[in-house]
A and B are shown apart, each in its own frame.
Chain A
């Protein structure tokens, strides 16, 4: 029982990341009909938004501090972040400590801008081209974005820690009445899961309960009719692309404390999240979320020692195996709509 709960918990944080990226991919595919291979790059750019902000916050200038002296008795030069000058030391420290959550505010406008620019500048010209061309051009774009990040930030992973308050682990077992120290779970992963649930809920509520969302849903169902009604659906779809980019970016921002960002993290996630989208069913938003969590949890179950003794290496291939089986037995994926990309 403990082991099962632990594996479900372990699967949740990876599953959250898969679900968020797959949600964005499906938003783009469902609205614009574009297969976006650069979506992993958007995830990566989001992560580097967090890196950039935490570096910006730590910008500092040198001050000669008379109260401290080095071993020769000279006054010591101390690096003082500009934030100290503005907010004082304790507030400044707190802000630097909370750099990753603060990056959310920074990342949203940046990611929406990048998404809208991408759609207007490049993707727009590919609506009428075949899916293979869309895959190829966005694949090229992903390489370009990745290399730009590599040029400015280097090839090594950049550790970006979570705030101090979330650095420990939560004893899940004790809270549920099991023995203590059996089911422990890092706080930040709980935060990540809650955050993902919030974003997913937010996107669904936005689509379900606002007029804008209603128009977008109508456009997804029948674009031409919506246009005939005199609604500028292209503009709304462009904004949806920005929103999808923001979702991917936020997934990246919050993922930085779990995995230090490096320039190829996007590509690593891209392949898996495509598999997730296909398993969930192209164009189905609930399908993408469901498949994301399902595959994340399956992956963590497959890496249990008992399973690995029985079927070695299963954890490495389980996602692909599931994808192959689903694709061959359920052509539309788990929750795909009828008539959307069945062949």
Chain B
């Protein structure tokens, strides 16, 4: 189906089912119960899951396939965001032109950056992309303030021209919409004590993610994808056979830049604001974390990694000491306090510590990320010989 073999069709359908039913799956606990804080099925977080999923899928096309480790991908996301915001300010609050322009602009910008950065490989490539991203960040923060809004960032304003939209009614504020359907509007359905939220913005982003995922599967299985993997495993040999690898790596770079632009455009479509901090190099580092954590070079890995990090960021960080004391309240006081003191540094505000530890453990013991971990566990239970055609996700650099 869709030009995919059976295995990948099943994978795509599974992901489609999971994203479409996410409001149910992520809300397993009834409202008001003690576990309700683990519910991730609210629109803001679900949107982030899929948007960062797109970002990581795109990053994985570059890093997972070619082995080029870019530390500057957030710049493309930021550029895409700014482009989308300007479409909303000048043309219309409809998200379609905004997202389209964000992809194109991010693609052009990544063409420029990639064309220069890809002259070098290995760590030099990482430093070059990092330098470009930091330059974009610094410029967006200071000199380009008329375009980027500097420290305050950009929001749609009432007096913006918006030549395609009619005049707003008095008291109405400009809202991102899809042909009149507002991104922020939700349909809420309560069943018993469960409350499920179906958000328009989430479904727009989810459809975009499914399309991106489908594209990624096609790229992974295409001759182009094979060529990229060949570059990763031995670029020198590719060059000796008389092949110029630059167009392929550049194409991969631009494609992943366009994915980042799409993610940036969707971010703007969801919360209609943009600031320079989303271009800072730690944001680029975050997408590296997501991809490696989930499994670089695998299809589903980056999405898993993005979901895991965003879940930790939004859910684990909310757990504070009082909640911990409630959990361990059944224990004697001394043990309770000891347990709380032991667990507390790792959750709540310290969730970054847990993330760093998990990340280190994954890099040390599971170079294939969570996907490899899952495969190992599955193998343990099935006792079946591993299929040889699954990408092993080993990160050999392009040197």
Residue B357 at the chain A interface, CB threshold 8 Å: yes
Residue B138 at the chain A interface, CB threshold 8 Å: yes
Residue B350 at the chain A interface, CB threshold 8 Å: yes
Q: Beta-carbon contacts of A136-149 to B below 8 Å, as 1s and 0s?
A: 11011111101110
Nearest residue, chain B, Cβ from A129: B367
Is A136 a contact partner of B363 (Cβ separation < 8 A)? yes
> How far does the alpha carbon of A316 sit from the alpha carbon of B356 in the complex, in Å?
29
Is A321 a contact partner of B396 (Cβ separation < 8 A)? no
B131 to chain A: which residues have CB within 8 Å? 275, 320-321, 323-324
Residue A131 at the chain B interface, CB threshold 8 Å: yes
Is B127 a contact partner of A327 (Cβ separation < 8 A)? yes
The main secondary structure of chain B at its interface with chain A is: helix
Pick the contact of B395: A35, A130, A321 (CB < 8 A).
Answer: A130
Is B138 a contact partner of A130 (Cβ separation < 8 A)? no
B215 to chain A: which residues have CB within 8 Å? none
Residue A271 at the chain B interface, CB threshold 8 Å: yes
Residue A267 at the chain B interface, CB threshold 8 Å: yes
Residue A135 at the chain B interface, CB threshold 8 Å: yes
Please indicate which of the listed interface residues B124, B138, B144, B282 has the most CB atoms of chain A within 10 Å of its own CB. Answer: B124
Which positions 314-360 of chain B face chain A at CB distance < 8 Å? 345, 350, 352-353, 355-357, 359-360
* Chain B proximity of A336: nearest CB distance (Å): 11
* Chain A proximity of B26: nearest CB distance (Å): 26
Which of B36-44, B101-109, B115-123 lies on the face that meets chain A? B115-123
Pick the contact of A278: B121, B127, B395 (CB < 8 A).
Answer: B127
Which positions 260-301 of chain A face chain B at CB distance < 8 Å? 267, 271, 274-275, 278, 282
Nearest residue, chain A, Cβ from B285: A139
B77 to chain A: which residues have CB within 8 Å? none
Residue B234 at the chain A interface, CB threshold 8 Å: no
Residue A341 at the chain B interface, CB threshold 8 Å: yes
> How far does the alpha carbon of A83 sit from the alpha carbon of B34 in the complex, in Å?
51
Nearest residue, chain B, Cβ from A320: B131
Nearest residue, chain B, Cβ from A142: B356
Which positions 83-130 of chain B face chain A at CB distance < 8 Å? 116, 119-124, 126-128, 130
Residue B281 at the chain A interface, CB threshold 8 Å: yes
Q: Beta-carbon contacts of B128-169 to A below 8 Å, as 1s and 0s?
A: 101110110011011110000000000000000000000000
Is B119 a contact partner of A341 (Cβ separation < 8 A)? no
> How far does the alpha carbon of A133 sit from the alpha carbon of B363 in the complex, in Å?
7
> How far does the alpha carbon of A131 sit from the alpha carbon of B367 in the complex, in Å?
13
Residue A101 at the chain B interface, CB threshold 8 Å: no
Is A278 a contact partner of B292 (Cβ separation < 8 A)? no
Q: A131-B399, A136-B292 are in contact. Are A328 and B116 (CB under 8 A)?
A: yes
Is B138 a contact partner of A313 (Cβ separation < 8 A)? yes
Is B356 a contact partner of A147 (Cβ separation < 8 A)? yes
Residue B274 at the chain A interface, CB threshold 8 Å: no
Residue A174 at the chain B interface, CB threshold 8 Å: no
Q: Beta-carbon contacts of A150-179 to B below 8 Å, as 1s and 0s?
A: 110000000000000000000000000000
Is A133 a contact partner of B367 (Cβ separation < 8 A)? yes
B355 to chain A: which residues have CB within 8 Å? 143
Residue A331 at the chain B interface, CB threshold 8 Å: yes
Q: Beta-carbon contacts of A111-137 to B below 8 Å, as 1s and 0s?
A: 000000000001001000011110111
Residue A312 at the chain B interface, CB threshold 8 Å: yes
B396 to chain A: which residues have CB within 8 Å? 130, 132
Pick the contact of B353: A147, A321, A327 (CB < 8 A).
Answer: A147
Is A143 a contact partner of B352 (Cβ separation < 8 A)? yes
Which positions 252-298 of chain B face chain A at CB distance < 8 Å? 281-282, 285, 288, 292
> How far does the alpha carbon of A275 sit from the alpha carbon of B126 in the complex, in Å?
10
Residue A304 at the chain B interface, CB threshold 8 Å: no
Q: A131-B122, A132-B397, A327-B128 are in contact. Are A317 and B139 (CB under 8 A)?
A: yes
* Chain A proximity of B287: nearest CB distance (Å): 13
Residue B67 at the chain A interface, CB threshold 8 Å: yes
B67 to chain A: which residues have CB within 8 Å? 132
Residue B364 at the chain A interface, CB threshold 8 Å: yes
* Chain B proximity of A138: nearest CB distance (Å): 9
* Chain A proximity of B74: nearest CB distance (Å): 13
* Chain B proximity of A276: nearest CB distance (Å): 10
Nearest residue, chain B, Cβ from A152: B345
* Chain B proximity of A189: nearest CB distance (Å): 24
Is B356 a contact partner of A324 (Cβ separation < 8 A)? no
A150 to chain B: which residues have CB within 8 Å? 350, 352
> How far does the alpha carbon of A122 sit from the alpha carbon of B122 in the complex, in Å?
22
Please indicate which of the listed interface residues B69, B123, B355, B360 has the most CB atoms of chain A within 10 Å of its own CB. Answer: B123
A275 to chain B: which residues have CB within 8 Å? 127, 130-131
Q: A35-B123, A136-B292, A267-B282 are in contact. Are A313 and B143 (CB under 8 A)?
A: yes
Pick the contact of B69: A135, A144, A278, A341 (CB < 8 A).
Answer: A135
> How far does the alpha carbon of A35 sit from the alpha carbon of B399 in the complex, in Å?
14
Is B345 a contact partner of A140 (Cβ separation < 8 A)? no
* Chain B proximity of A116: nearest CB distance (Å): 19
Is A143 a contact partner of B128 (Cβ separation < 8 A)? no
Nearest residue, chain B, Cβ from A308: B143
B123 to chain A: which residues have CB within 8 Å? 35, 131, 135, 278, 282, 341
B138 to chain A: which residues have CB within 8 Å? 313, 316-317, 320
A306 to chain B: which residues have CB within 8 Å? none
Which residues of B are in contact with A by a Cβ distance under 8 Å? Answer: 67, 69, 116, 119-124, 126-128, 130-132, 134-135, 138-139, 141-144, 281-282, 285, 288, 292, 345, 350, 352-353, 355-357, 359-360, 363-364, 367, 395-397, 399
Could you show 30 A-B contacts with beta carbons less than 8 Å apart? A122-B364, A130-B399, A131-B397, A131-B399, A132-B396, A133-B367, A136-B359, A140-B360, A141-B360, A144-B360, A146-B352, A147-B352, A150-B350, A151-B350, A271-B134, A275-B131, A278-B123, A278-B124, A313-B138, A313-B143, A316-B142, A317-B138, A320-B131, A323-B128, A324-B132, A327-B120, A327-B127, A331-B120, A341-B122, A343-B120
